[in-house]
Structure 1
Amino acid sequence: MLPEHAPFTSSQRQALDSLLSGLDPVQRGWLSGFLAASGSSAPVSSAAPVAGGKLTVLYGTESGNSEVLADRAVKAAKKRGFQAVMKNMSEVSPADLAKSPNLFVIVSTWGDGEPPETAVGFYKEFMSADLKLANVKFSVCALGDTAYEKFCQIGKDVDARLEALGAARVFARQDCDVDYEDSFATWLEGSLSSLAPAAAEPVSFVAAVAAPAVEYGKKNPFPAETIENLVLNGEGSSKETIHIEFSLAGSGLSYEPGDALAVVPVNAPDVVRGVLQAAKLTGNEEIEVKNVGTKLLADALREDFDITALSRAVLTKLAEAADSATLRALLAEDSKEQLKEYNYGREIVDALVDFAPHGLSAAALTGIFRKLPPRLYSIASSPLAHENEVHLTVAAVRYDSNGRSRKGVCSTYLADLVKSGDTVPMFIQPNKNFRLPADGSTPVIMVGPGTGVAPFRSFIEHRAALGSSGKNWLFFGDQHYTYDFLYQLEWQEYLKDGVLTRLDVAFSRDQPEKVYVQDRMVQQAAELYEWLEQGAHFYVCGDANRMAHDVHEALISVVEFQAGISREAAEAYVENLKKTKRYQRDVY
């Protein structure tokens, strides 16, 4: 409602109230700018926002999405009159929640049911803490990926735990897949309205600010021109690692070492043909694609849908579309192990063959898919060393399973389909949890086997460009020295120049016994511990399932034996490194 003292007649106020009540915040903002730009010479004061009280937006993030959404939630809440602040789970203790009368939680699930790296400590403590939260009102937004069995598990756990501790849920938990924009907007509006239904967003008429003609980002990826695409491995290697460079000229995009590049891929032609054949369709059928319009089915399968990743969510939709009693039985609660076994090594095309033998209509087929998500890659360049450029180090994924050849959607898109001069849609994904120390004199230890070395190329380039005095130590590993020493000449040049202080390598298949980066850490335990005691920051990038775990265990062992303390004390030492942001991981 407009305030009674607004400079309008009764009928004008009624008409404006009717119009504004049907607009969302984005539409209201556009209307505000439109009116200002079309001749209003002075701003019109709106009613002061209704005080909504204090609100804490707690977030747990791995790739940065939850942090971005938390920031948006805080800004929206402030417009509603809330005294809103955002806090990382790494910065608070569970006991602090009792001080938050209103609490929003935005948390992602990492891998198959794990908390984000920076939220591990908070999550473990919170799930066992004895707290009384009867005075807390809350709502949870969970981020996840339906390709994983334990979709949004951390958000579900936190939501249930808050309720068990007596907190009052004001709006239902929202579980968001990788395409989360609409779901998040629904959750945020519902949660804010539930907390303060009378605190409608005030309408402000402000001077129009000229916006750039085109703004690039997640909603509008930048079509970056490919400068170079080359294979890093030597002839004879069993691996295929590419170094690919893109131009950011004219994009307005910027990044820091540690950030990721989000690449928007397309599905390979042979994969599209396989799905069409399994569904018994030609590809010439027309379908409607949300937010896009009418397209030929083949084009939509190539550009818009995730047509490979098999999950419970996909199979549930397929069971209905194909009316398959066999698939429904496989999805039953008492068949979890059988379902897990079936999903392993299979893709959607296999399920179409197995459970939709008579094919599907074009609409039914596309109804089982989710939107094709972008892929995140650690950036392998420094903006100071390569102006208006961004570089990636990508391993092309290819393998055989269940009688079919498989390949990574984005890695082989970049390896097989993208040539110099081609454009690739992309945007920057900031990662504030993987940053060089602010003090350039601080020592840095980096552990990055295989493509995990990518951000450390960025780190070293950046420190070299800045003239940082801090020591730099790199642990790198791969299969063979002769074929797989990624960026070998660059590292050797940095050693010669003194930018790289130490380089320890582990080539697992160059000798009878396999040697890995964690083995080199243990061999150099005394000096490694000395660097830590000097204040060194410790970084790990690469495989989360085995390598990162083994490196973590090796780090604890190094501290335990070099400091002469118990295992428990060594674990506490390493945990403190995490809390003080001296131990950071970028794992996948």
Structure 2
Amino acid sequence: MQLQVMNSPFNEEQVELLNRLLPTLNASQKAWLSGYLTAIQSADTATVLEAVPAAAPAANTAQPVSKEVTILFGSQTGNAQGLAENAGKTLKEQGFQVTVSSMSDFKPNQLKKLKNLLIVVSTHGEGDPPDNALSFHEFLHGRRAPKLEDLRYSVLALGDTSYEFFCKTGKDFDQRLEALGATRLQPCVECDLDFEEPAAKWLEGVITRLSEGQGQTVPAQPTAPEAKAVETVYSRKNPFRAEVLENINLNGRGSNKETRHLELSLEGSGLTYEPGDALGIFPENDPELVDLLLNELKWDANEVVAVDKQGERLPLKEALTSYFEITVLTKKLIQQAAELLDNEKLRALTASENAQQLKAYIDGRDLVDFVRDFGPINASPQEFVSILRKMPPRLYSIASSIAANPEEVHLTIGAVRYHAHGRDRKGVCSILCAERLQPGDTVPMFIQPNKNFKLPESPETPIIMVGPGTGVAPFRSFMQEREEAGATGKSWMFFGDQHFVTDFLYQTEWQKWLKDGVLTRMDVAFSRDTEEKVYVQHRMLEHSKELYKWLEEGAVFYVCGDKTNMAKDVQEALLEIIEKEGGKSREEAEAYLAEMKKQKRYQRDVY
């Protein structure tokens, strides 16, 4: 809201200065300024009251609010953890005593002792909690959860509106804490893939509410030293344009698949990473798809539209190419379009009783389908693009060790091509890499740390890796890192794909590591080479006795790849092995696996 002379106690010059200053402040600065002004007012009031006899304290004086804040995060890819850690840092700067912890590391019996709790959690897959939030989610929704009348809380929920159960885990926590008697500091905020702005507003509101009734001013932040040359820091908000050094197809001639090995230069970026981390790429939409969409819309490709709240303006074609997502339909988009467009068929589709029809329509369709089905679009280009979602980055597990490849990062990307609803479809980023990205080109990228998928601290700890298809990527990174470090711990790789001859990704590297002793053993499963399909979980079961022996020796078990089928099948096989070889019941095997998770000996990077 803009200040005016008429709606404020300021004169014209002061209003102009404030309207220039306020929009530039972040949450921390606003909170500090609020405390600073309170301090001045308190000091002035104290001066006036020095000569006045002290009055008896009021009978109903409010109790000081605790400055202790606990932040718990549940994170699969690292976004929720990064936001939680940033919130903790900001709150500490405001004088709060802050503890930031993964939900899996938090002792539930401490919950009753907390006064202020912030939860930052993502939703994984079809409404599931992240792996490191499962135990806390189960505890809070179980019979042992305590009454929490003395607790104040707020939830920041991360999700993806292209999934049916958007932000479900965050909503679950928010509703359950309320049911247990806790009081909301700030309403739950639900974030889509473009989460930075709503997360910042959530934190601003939390700081304001936590600061109310403190009975003390927010401490002043130390004055920054005189500015010198500022080093550019590259991140999700400020991606680095990395040059493509190599882009090759890993599959042999005749394969049903195309898997790209992409090497990018980090020279001059100052970026670094650890094995297990991911890399995010901001892709561009296929030019052919953009042209097809513009042709269906019958709009001028050069018409300029605003693309964000800051007023950045781009020609329509450029906006649809590089800024907006056009290959995915979401429930939110369809609902917003129904409000924008005067279309009875669209209104019927979004009616509450037609939820299943809407879900079926969204699946596998894009914006071109939507325009064809519900056009002509009776709205201006500006109105239409205002309901589109910003292009989200695509995350890929890093397939290299920076120790082995200084100032480089490698990726393993499977090209996505399929046919649906009468048209051929292409993955946005994977086909950019497969068809249009050449050595010498650059791509905007950032490093996404993943602290939930890491090599053990001790190089002597045995590791078991299960990574079929492109799930092999982080384990190539693990092997490179262990080779450079001279690690002595045993290692066992389970790899699978369709055909041995054409689809054995990084075959020569794995054979060399076996020969040199960097890799202890390797078992492979090529599903289309035998009459009966064989997958990695079958190889695990074939070697159940040896695998259980490794687990008993303290091995860390890793899984990377498809969440929907492979990861579930691998977990089921692992439970069977623990049951059979450990002589345990199913309940005892599940408890064994739960303890492995707690010890960070069962880690998954699944998608």
Q: TM-score higher than 0.5 here?
A: yes
Q: Residue 25 of structure 1: CA displacement?
A: 5.0
After superposition, give the CA deviation of every residue in 1:548-580 in whole Å (9 maximum; x if it has no partner). Answer: 000000000011000111111011111111110
Q: Residue 349 of structure 1: CA displacement?
A: 1.6
> How do residues 384-463 of structure 1 correspond to structure 2 at under 5 angstroms?
384-463=403-482
Q: Residue 356 of structure 1: CA displacement?
A: 2.2
Mean Cα displacement is larger for which, 470-479 or 65-74? 65-74
Q: Residue 26 of structure 1: CA displacement?
A: 4.0
Counterpart in 2 of 1:148?
Answer: 163
Q: 1:121 aligns with which of 135, 147, 150?
A: 135
Counterpart in 2 of 1:178?
Answer: 193
Task: Give the aligned residue type for 2:258.
Answer: E
Task: Give the aligned residue type for 2:150.
Answer: N
Q: Residue 286 of structure 1: CA displacement?
A: 1.2
- The answer on whether the counterparts of 1:51 and 1:80 sit within 8 Å (CA) in structure 2 is no
Q: 1:548 aligns with which of 567, 573, 585?
A: 567
Q: 2:374 aligns with which of 355, 358, 373?
A: 355
Point out where structure 1 has 5 or more consecutive residues left out of the alignment.
1-13, 33-46
Relative to structure 1, the CA distance from residue 455 to residue 388 in structure 2 (aligned partners, 3 Å threshold; closer, same or farther) is: same
Determine whether 1:165 maps to 2:180: yes
Counterpart in 1 of 2:50?
Answer: none
Q: Residue 287 of structure 1: CA displacement?
A: 0.6
Q: 1:83 aligns with which of 74, 78, 97?
A: 97
Task: Give the aligned residue type for 1:394.
Answer: I
Q: Residue 417 of structure 1: CA displacement?
A: 1.2
Counterpart in 2 of 1:322?
Answer: 341
Counterpart in 2 of 1:306?
Answer: 325
Q: Secondary structure, in 3 states, of the residue corresponding to 1:370?
A: coil
Q: Residue 111 of structure 1: CA displacement?
A: 1.6
Q: Residue 98 of structure 1: CA displacement?
A: 1.6
Q: Residue 24 of structure 1: CA displacement?
A: 6.2
Task: Give the aligned residue type for 1:276.
Answer: L
Determine whether 1:241 maps to 2:259: yes
Task: Give the aligned residue type for 1:303.
Answer: S
Identity of aligned residues (%): 51
Q: Residue 217 of structure 1: CA displacement?
A: 1.0
Task: Give the aligned residue type for 1:524.
Answer: H
> How do residues 92-131 of structure 1 correspond to structure 2 at under 5 angstroms?
92-129=106-143, 130-131=145-146
- The answer on whether the counterparts of 1:385 and 1:465 sit within 8 Å (CA) in structure 2 is yes
Q: Residue 18 of structure 1: CA displacement?
A: 7.2
Q: Residue 72 of structure 1: CA displacement?
A: 1.3
Q: Residue 92 of structure 1: CA displacement?
A: 1.7
Q: Residue 125 of structure 1: CA displacement?
A: 2.0
- The answer on whether the counterparts of 1:74 and 1:85 sit within 8 Å (CA) in structure 2 is yes
Q: 2:232 aligns with which of 214, 218, 224?
A: 214
Q: Residue 212 of structure 1: CA displacement?
A: 3.5
After superposition, give the CA deviation of every residue in 1:408-434 in whole Å (9 maximum; x if it has no partner). Answer: 111111111110000111010000000
> How do residues 264-279 of structure 1 correspond to structure 2 at under 5 angstroms?
264-279=282-297
- Taking the aligned partners of 1:279 and 1:18, their CA distance within structure 2 comes to 43
After superposition, give the CA deviation of every residue in 1:188-230 in whole Å (9 maximum; x if it has no partner). Answer: 1111111223654635423235453322111110010000000
- Taking the aligned partners of 1:271 and 1:479, their CA distance within structure 2 comes to 30
Q: Residue 330 of structure 1: CA displacement?
A: 1.5
After superposition, give the CA deviation of every residue in 1:170-203 in whole Å (9 maximum; x if it has no partner). Answer: 2111111111111011111111111223654635
Q: 1:297 aligns with which of 302, 313, 316?
A: 316
Task: Give the aligned residue type for 1:455.
Answer: P
- Taking the aligned partners of 1:272 and 1:520, their CA distance within structure 2 comes to 45
- Taking the aligned partners of 1:53 and 1:368, their CA distance within structure 2 comes to 40
Q: Residue 466 of structure 1: CA displacement?
A: 0.5
Task: Give the aligned residue type for 2:203.
Answer: L
- The answer on whether the counterparts of 1:51 and 1:82 sit within 8 Å (CA) in structure 2 is no
Q: Residue 359 of structure 1: CA displacement?
A: 5.6
After superposition, give the CA deviation of every residue in 1:257-284 in whole Å (9 maximum; x if it has no partner). Answer: 0000011101010111122122222312
TM-score, length-normalised on structure 2? 0.88
After superposition, give the CA deviation of every residue in 1:132-172 in whole Å (9 maximum; x if it has no partner). Answer: 00000011111111111111111111000000000001211
Task: Give the aligned residue type for 1:218.
Answer: R
After superposition, give the CA deviation of every residue in 1:3-55 in whole Å (9 maximum; x if it has no partner). Answer: xxxxxxxxxxx99x97999476549869x9xxxxxxxxxxxxxx9xx985111
- The answer on whether the counterparts of 1:279 and 1:365 sit within 8 Å (CA) in structure 2 is no
> How do residues 567-582 of structure 1 correspond to structure 2 at under 5 angstroms?
567-582=586-601
Q: 2:534 aligns with which of 507, 515, 518?
A: 515
Relative to structure 1, the CA distance from residue 569 to residue 584 in structure 2 (aligned partners, 3 Å threshold; closer, same or farther) is: same
Counterpart in 1 of 2:47?
Answer: none
Task: Give the aligned residue type for 2:103.
Answer: M
Relative to structure 1, the CA distance from residue 19 to residue 289 in structure 2 (aligned partners, 3 Å threshold; closer, same or farther) is: closer
- The answer on whether the counterparts of 1:248 and 1:388 sit within 8 Å (CA) in structure 2 is yes
Mean Cα displacement is larger for which, 523-532 or 346-355? 346-355
- Taking the aligned partners of 1:273 and 1:368, their CA distance within structure 2 comes to 20
Counterpart in 2 of 1:37?
Answer: none
Q: 2:581 aligns with which of 559, 562, 578?
A: 562
Q: 1:69 aligns with which of 83, 105, 126?
A: 83
TM-score, length-normalised on structure 1? 0.91
Counterpart in 1 of 2:242?
Answer: 224
After superposition, give the CA deviation of every residue in 1:488-539 in whole Å (9 maximum; x if it has no partner). Answer: 0110111111111101000000011000000000001010001111111000
- Taking the aligned partners of 1:51 and 1:576, their CA distance within structure 2 comes to 37
Q: Secondary structure, in 3 states, of the residue corresponding to 2:603?
A: strand
- Taking the aligned partners of 2:96 and 2:29, their CA distance within structure 1 comes to 19
Determine whether 1:135 maps to 2:135: no
- Taking the aligned partners of 2:29 and 2:162, their CA distance within structure 1 comes to 36
Q: Secondary structure, in 3 states, of the residue corresponding to 2:327?
A: coil
- Taking the aligned partners of 1:491 and 1:85, their CA distance within structure 2 comes to 42
After superposition, give the CA deviation of every residue in 1:266-321 in whole Å (9 maximum; x if it has no partner). Answer: 10101111221222223121111214622110001001001111110110111122
Task: Give the aligned residue type for 1:576.
Answer: E
Relative to structure 1, the CA distance from residue 203 to residue 382 in structure 2 (aligned partners, 3 Å threshold; closer, same or farther) is: closer
Relative to structure 1, the CA distance from residue 20 to residue 100 in structure 2 (aligned partners, 3 Å threshold; closer, same or farther) is: farther
CA RMSD of aligned residues (A): 2.4
- Taking the aligned partners of 2:602 and 2:429, their CA distance within structure 1 comes to 29
- Taking the aligned partners of 1:76 and 1:19, their CA distance within structure 2 comes to 24
Determine whether 1:497 maps to 2:516: yes
How many residues matched?
560
Q: Residue 96 of structure 1: CA displacement?
A: 2.4
Relative to structure 1, the CA distance from residue 429 to residue 292 in structure 2 (aligned partners, 3 Å threshold; closer, same or farther) is: farther
Counterpart in 1 of 2:493?
Answer: 474
Q: 1:488 aligns with which of 468, 482, 507?
A: 507
Task: Give the aligned residue type for 1:382.
Answer: S
- The answer on whether the counterparts of 1:392 and 1:454 sit within 8 Å (CA) in structure 2 is yes
- The answer on whether the counterparts of 2:28 and 2:204 sit within 8 Å (CA) in structure 1 is no
Task: Give the aligned residue type for 1:140.
Answer: V
Task: Give the aligned residue type for 1:111.
Answer: G
Relative to structure 1, the CA distance from residue 562 to residue 203 in structure 2 (aligned partners, 3 Å threshold; closer, same or farther) is: closer
- The answer on whether the counterparts of 2:329 and 2:365 sit within 8 Å (CA) in structure 1 is yes
Task: Give the aligned residue type for 1:125.
Answer: F
Mean Cα displacement is larger for which, 249-258 or 180-189? 180-189
Determine whether 1:58 maps to 2:76: no
Relative to structure 1, the CA distance from residue 471 to residue 27 in structure 2 (aligned partners, 3 Å threshold; closer, same or farther) is: closer
- Taking the aligned partners of 1:239 and 1:27, their CA distance within structure 2 comes to 48
- Taking the aligned partners of 1:207 and 1:19, their CA distance within structure 2 comes to 27
> How do residues 1-20 of structure 1 correspond to structure 2 at under 5 angstroms?
none
